[in-house]
């Protein structure tokens, strides 16, 4: 899942979390596919950010999943024979992959 500016919303994106107005009312529920009418309503209600499924918006300077996994491999490169650290590396990598799938 990815939090984006409401201005970045596009038709077909799917909400990963409820969208609330600034005063706390639920405007759209989780799982709602965005249409232009819903996007217009979100913007009209001055909601600044929404959370959508996947990772549909590229962010300048953001690393790809592959780059992040390579960085983790590099960081743990000197401890290939220390079981607790190998386990930790594996868990970190699994969480990174899972967060991108949610994302």
**What pLDDT is attached to residue 102?**
58
DSSP, collapsed to helix, strand or coil, labels residue 101 as helix
- 29-88 pLDDT, tens digit per residue, is 999 999 999 999 999 998 989 999 887 777 777 788 889 999 999 999 999 899 999 999
If you ran DSSP here, which 8-state letter would residue 64 be given?
Answer: P
Task: For 66, list phi and psi in degrees, rounded to 5.
Answer: -60, -40
**What pLDDT is attached to residue 71?**
95
Contacts of residue 64, Cβ cutoff 8 Å, sequence gap at least 6 = none
**What pLDDT is attached to residue 70?**
94
DSSP, collapsed to helix, strand or coil, labels residue 82 as coil
**What pLDDT is attached to residue 58?**
73
**What pLDDT is attached to residue 80?**
87
**What pLDDT is attached to residue 2?**
84
* Residue 78 and residue 55 in contact, taking contact as beta carbons nearer than 8 Å: no
* Residue 6 and residue 50 in contact, taking contact as beta carbons nearer than 8 Å: yes
What's the pTM? 0.61
């Amino acid at each position: 899942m990815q939090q984006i500016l409401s201005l970045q919303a596009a038709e077909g994106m799917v909400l990963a979390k409820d969208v609330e107005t600034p005063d706390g009312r639920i405007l759209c529920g989780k799982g709602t596919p965005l249409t232009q009418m819903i996007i217009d309503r979100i913007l009209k209600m001055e909601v600044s950010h929404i959370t959508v499924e996947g990772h549909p918006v590229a962010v300048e300077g953001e690393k790809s999943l592959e780059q992040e996994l390579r960085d983790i491999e590099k960081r743990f490169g000197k401890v290939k024979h220390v079981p607790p650290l190998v386990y930790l590396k594996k868990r970190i990598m699994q969480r990174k992959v899972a967060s991108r799938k949610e994302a």
